[in-house]
Each structure stands twice: as C-alpha cells, then as structure tokens.
Chain A
Amino acid sequence: MTQRTKLHRAALVLAATALAVSAGCAKEDAVTTESGVKLIKKDKLTVCTHLPYAPFQFKEGGKVVGFDVDVLDLVAKKLKIEQDIVDTPFEGIKSGQDLKTGKCDIAAAAMSITPERQKVIDFSEPYFNATQAMLVKAGAPYKTLADLKGKKVGAQASTTGLDYANKEAAANGYQVVDFKDLAAQQQALATGQIEAAINDLPVWADFIKKNTGKYAVAAEFDTGDQYGFGIKKDGNPELVKTVNEVLDTARQDGTYDAIYEKWIGKKPESKDNK
C-alpha cells in the first residue's frame, strides 16, 4: 500500500471513530411517563440526597431510610416505579446543579426553601417546618449565641444553618467552623473541637434521642425554615404537580401524620406542619 493510501485510511478511521464516539455521547432521551412526568431513568425515580441526615435520610442496615425516603416512596408508588437513591455532596444539590446536569429527577435532602435556591430550583410545596437550633454538650453553660464569644461554633456546609451562623458571627464574636456533613459536625462537638453546633432542630432532636443525656438544645432560632423537594428548574412541571398532589393526599388521609410519628414523634397539637 502506498504512503498516501495508508494516510487516507488512517484519517478515515479517525474520523469514523470521532463520529461514533460523539454520537454515542448524545444524551439518552429522558423517559416520559404517561402522566407527563419526565424521568432520567426508565421505571426509576432517581433521587439525590446527602447522607447522613437522620431522621430525614440515613443508612440503616445497608439501606437508606428516613422521613424524606418514606414521603418520596409515596410519590414513587403513585408513579408505579421505585426510588433509586444517589448520595452526593450537598453543594451540588442546593445549587441545583445535580438537577440541571441530569444526575437525578428530584432532590430530597431536608432542603430549606430560600429565595436564593428558588432561583435555581423548582420546589414542591413545603412538606416540613423546621427551625435552626444550637446543640451543646449537656450541662454546658451556653444559653445564647452571645455566650459563645471567642469560642468555636460548628455549622454544616451549604446549609441555611451555616448562613445563619455566619450572619450572627460578627455581632456575637464567635468563630464559625464549616463541616462537610452532619456526621463530621457531630463528631467535632463530641470531641470538643467546637463548643456548639448549629443545624436543623429535628436533626438535633433525633441525635439527642440516640445519645441520651449527652447533649441538649441550648437555644432555638426562629428562622421559619421550611423543607421542600427540589426539581429541575422549569424542567419537569408534571413532577412538581405530582409531588404536590401526593403531599396533599397524604396530609388528608393521615399518611403524612403516620410518617411523621414514625420518624419524628408525636406531633404537637398546636403546630400545623403544612
């Protein structure tokens, strides 16, 4: 074979490979169910979450369980499919990036609805009322943020708790320490690396239950946090509608209360978790 023919052959092979690879790289069409809900994987509700965050989502016996998991099971049941859970860092979830890049259909991570997040995420209606709270070791003398002047206060990366801690830091004179997840924050408090930890109240309540006598909530900050499920911005309106429908039904027929009691405890009479 002449040199020219060999060169032509090589170029052809290269071009063909490039074409094949780029064609293969085309995104699979998202599947659309009969109700108009878009899913990235057929027959699966792909859920992004960040573990651990008991009692909303955490691993037990090798499976992911929790309040959020049970509520989304209701949605999956309505769509006649199953949940497929992806555990991924929280930054990607709350910035809407995971939804935008097609990592999952819906994000369930005890995520508070904020105007900033609403710019990049379509939220379901609120499904849980929470509030920020400060956890300290039992018997510690701190009652307010001002008591922590000169001390270290821990918060979890990318959470509204961290935002709150940062906001109040200058006025109260404490140092904020940023932890990559709840477990790291809990360990830091347990080992005395921080004097107080700020996170959502239900999470601390669960933590106190599992560690009787060791910790106490020193203060609550009425921030009016409400959790919502996150869906791709302007990408999947049918899924938002389905989730809201499921939430409404669950509240009416008592399923919501049952899930609440299972994971959080008896509902206080006065609060209405709408």
Chain B
Amino acid sequence: MAKLKRRQRQRLIRWTQYVIFVLVVGLVAYAADWDTLRESFFRTDLIREMFPEVITVALRNTVVFTVLAFIFGLVLGTMLALMRLSQVAPYRWVATGYIELFRGLPALLVLFMVGYGIPNAFPNREIPGGVYGQVALGLGLTAAAYMAETIRAGIQAVPKGQLEAARTLGMSHSAAMRKIVIPQAFRIVIPPLTNEIILLTKDSSLAFVLGVTAGSIELTKFGGDLLNTHVNATPMVVAGACYLIITLPLSQLVRRLELRYNKAR
C-alpha cells in the first residue's frame, strides 16, 4: 500500500474506530436477551406500584436529609474555615483537629456514633428533630470537615488586596471579612460546594442505620425493601433514577455556575 499522507491516515483510523464501535454495539444488542433484561430491570407492574410513595415519601425524605445535612455542614464548615485562618492558635488547633478527625472517619461510623454513642453518653438528652435531626447531625459533621477545607481555600483565593483595601478604608478585620472577603469567597466555592451537596445526596442512603419508620424512609431503603419483597431489581432501577433526578440538574447547575464565574473574572 502506498504511504498515506498523515491526514488520510488519521481519517482512516477514526473511521475504523467508528465502525468497530457500531459493530460492538450491534453485537451486544443482538446477543442480549431483551426479554430477560426487561423482566429483571423493567417490570412495569412493579414500577407502577412504587408511585406515588417513591416521590412523595422516599424522594422527599432524601431531599430533606440532604438539605438539612448541607445547611448544618455549611454553617459549621464556615466557622471551622474561619477558625483555621484565625490568629488565635487554639482556634487553629481545634479546627485542624476536627477536620482531620471527621475527614478520616466513614460517614457510616459517624452515624452509628450519633445514633448509639451519643444517646448512651447523654442519657437524658436527645438530639432535636428525631431521626431528621440525627441524620443532619451525623452527615453534617462529616460534611463540615470537607466543606471547611473548601471554604478556607476559597477565602485564601480572594486576592489579598481586597482585605488590605478594606482595612485601609477603616474596616476592622472582622467587618472586612464579613462584608468583603467572605462574599467573594463564596462565589469562588459555589461549584465545589454544589459537588458537596451531590455527595451528601448519596450519603443520605446511610440513614437506614438509625432506624426507619414508614414516614422517614429514604430512596435506597425504599428500593431495597421492594427488591427484597419481589426479588426483582426493578425497584432499585427506579430508586436510582430518582437519585439522578436530583443529582443531574445539580451537576448542570455546577457547570453553568463555573462558566458564569469564569466569565465574570
């Protein structure tokens, strides 16, 4: 074969890849037993049975758990970030200790501690909010550790000139932080924080270890129970789709925010 020019060679390689791709997809589609797949993952009667509870109860609870944990984690995380950057050494030690501890522990373990450790240690007190409070606390404590680092990075990413200019204008350190630096820092950290919310959405599936009632059941346990009852994976497929209903729009939002931020810079 005559030596092909570089561009022709590249085109040949690319077309070969297209052909291979189509062949593989075609082979898989042909070889797959569509009836068995449908029976295992797509039983319409089971799908119908799940509504409306899968949305009105399970999806709602997943969202509630996520939002509560996020708010708790955000407030605590901001405080920790400020403590990390503080001039007061003990604040820095406490914040660093907290962050290292909770970044190193699995969220599941923290939830066990919240569900069993704390009630045992403080027998006459309970965490307000019932299971919602416990999940918000357990997941929020872990999330705060991650968010603290993100927020700290955001605060440090605000150009030092901003703080200096604010001080020159007569603002105290805390006023400058509050009015000038932190608002700008938040604009920077919104994309990673949105990532954090997506992670929390998935961590909400751990809530079952604290015990569920019919009213507080979330998506994974809901799907899992039906999977057990009917010995069929269709409920899990539906539960998975519901998670994507939450996380896909959030991912889109992250991308749009990143674009907007990059344009604004």
Contact of A87 among B116, B172, B211 (CB under 8 A): B211
Tell me if B209 and A97 are in contact (CB < 8 A): no
Within 8 A of A (CB), among B202-226: 208-214, 221, 225
Number of chain A residues whose Cβ lies closer than 8 Å to a Cβ of chain B: 32
- Whether B53 sits at the interface, judged by CB under 8 Å, is yes
Q: What residues on B are CB-neighbors of A48 within 8 Å?
A: 211
Tell me if A85 and B211 are in contact (CB < 8 A): no
Q: How far is the CA of A181 from the CA of B126 in the complex (A)?
A: 29
Q: How far is the CA of A16 from the CA of B213 in the complex (A)?
A: 34
Q: Known interface pairs A86-B213, A183-B228. Does A97 touch B116 (Cβ–Cβ under 8 Å)?
A: yes
| Chain B, interface SS category | helix
Tell me if A88 and B229 are in contact (CB < 8 A): no
Contact of A85 among B128, B210, B213 (CB under 8 A): B213
- Whether A62 sits at the interface, judged by CB under 8 Å, is yes
Contact of A187 among B125, B211, B231 (CB under 8 A): B231
Q: What residues on A are CB-neighbors of B116 within 8 Å?
A: 92, 97, 101
Q: How far is the CA of A187 from the CA of B211 in the complex (A)?
A: 23
Instruction: Tell me the number of A-to-B contacts counted with CB atoms below 8 Å.
Output: 65
Q: Known interface pairs A59-B229, A97-B120. Does A26 touch B125 (Cβ–Cβ under 8 Å)?
A: yes
Q: How far is the CA of A26 from the CA of B124 in the complex (A)?
A: 6
Q: Known interface pairs A24-B128, A27-B125, A27-B126. Does A85 touch B229 (Cβ–Cβ under 8 Å)?
A: no
- Whether B97 sits at the interface, judged by CB under 8 Å, is no
Within 8 A of B (CB), among A169-218: 181, 183, 187, 190
Interface residues as binary, A95-130 with B (CB distance below 8 Å gives 1, 0 otherwise): 001101111100000000000000000000000000
Q: How far is the CA of A181 from the CA of B227 in the complex (A)?
A: 13
| Chain A, interface SS category | mixed
Q: What residues on B are CB-neighbors of A155 within 8 Å?
A: none
- Whether B89 sits at the interface, judged by CB under 8 Å, is no
Tell me if A100 and B120 are in contact (CB < 8 A): yes
- Whether A1 sits at the interface, judged by CB under 8 Å, is no
Q: What residues on B are CB-neighbors of A22 within 8 Å?
A: 125
- Whether B119 sits at the interface, judged by CB under 8 Å, is yes
- Whether B127 sits at the interface, judged by CB under 8 Å, is yes
Chain B residues close to A by CB (< 8 Å): 53, 115-116, 119-120, 124-128, 172, 208-214, 221, 225, 227-229, 231
Chain A residues close to B by CB (< 8 Å): 3, 22, 24-28, 48, 51-52, 58-60, 62, 84-89, 92, 97-98, 100-104, 181, 183, 187, 190
Q: Can you list 27 A-B contacts with CB-CB less than 8 angstroms, sorted by A residue number?
A: A22-B125, A25-B125, A26-B124, A27-B125, A27-B126, A28-B126, A51-B228, A52-B228, A52-B229, A59-B229, A60-B229, A62-B53, A85-B213, A85-B214, A87-B208, A87-B212, A88-B209, A88-B212, A89-B209, A89-B211, A92-B115, A100-B119, A101-B119, A101-B120, A102-B119, A104-B211, A181-B228
Complex A-B, nearest 10 residue pairs according to Cβ-Cβ distance, in ascending order:
A88-B211, A101-B119, A183-B228, A27-B126, A86-B211, A25-B125, A97-B116, A87-B212, A86-B213, A27-B124
